[in-house]
Amino acid sequence: MYKIKEENSVVGITYTLTEDGKNEVLDSNVGSAPLEFITGKGFIIPGLEKGLVGMSSGESKTIKVPASEAYGEYNENAIQVEPRENFEGIDLQKGMTLYGQDENQNTIQVTVKDFDDEKVTIDFNHPMAGKDLVFQVTVTESRDATEEEALTGQVGGGCTDGSCGCGH
């Protein structure tokens, strides 16, 4: 039976995610397509990937992931106050998620913490920062990545010659 390795294993999982000590489901893909990825490529949080190493197809397990190996510790310095005019045309609500771009054109996500007529307080922390997470996982697939999958980091290989219809 194939056991998941730290690098270049193709893995498919179904999971249910909760915060440690709480019963509220934060995310789940049970009943839908498995999450597929190749280990060692940074596609999932480090603590979850580490917990999957050594598992095989059909195996289920509870994996506890500390905040430091998930979305990081909560950083108070990641809260900023911006002028309200920077948010013109947006119907602001506390807790809403906004997306923008940083100076390098990377997509960033912020949460509106508070606002009034003059200023808006936004939080650049990931919504799950500072939370210890619990994943209830079942491995649906585990095998060695093909040479192409290992090279491209994509399950099923990449499309580099245009033959797969992806437009490259």
89-143 per-position pLDDT tens digit: 999 999 999 998 888 888 889 999 999 999 999 999 999 999 999 999 999 999 9
- Helix runs in 9-114, H state only: 46-52
Question: Which residues belong to CATH 2.40.10.330 in the chain?
Answer: 76-123
pLDDT at 15 over 70: yes
- Determine the 3-state secondary structure of 32 from DSSP: coil
Once rounded to an integer, what is the mean pLDDT over residues 8-18? 97
Tell me what pLDDT residue 158 has.
53
Tell me what pLDDT residue 159 has.
52
Report yes or no on whether pTM surpasses 0.85: no
Would you place residue 63 in the very low, low, confident or very high pLDDT band (cuts 50, 70, 90)?
A: very high
CATH architecture of 9-70+129-152: Roll (3.10)
CATH match for 76-123 among 3.60.15.10, 2.40.10.330, 3.20.20.70, 3.30.460.10: 2.40.10.330
Tell me what pLDDT residue 42 has.
94
Q: How far apart are the first and last CA of the chain?
A: 37
User: pLDDT above 70 covers what percent of the chain?
Assistant: 93
Residues 6+ apart with CB under 8 A from 111: 95, 96, 97, 98, 122, 123, 125, 127
Question: Which residues belong to CATH 3.10.50.40 in the chain?
Answer: 9-70+129-152
Tell me what pLDDT residue 163 has.
46
Would you place residue 164 in the very low, low, confident or very high pLDDT band (cuts 50, 70, 90)?
A: very low
Would you place residue 167 in the very low, low, confident or very high pLDDT band (cuts 50, 70, 90)?
A: very low
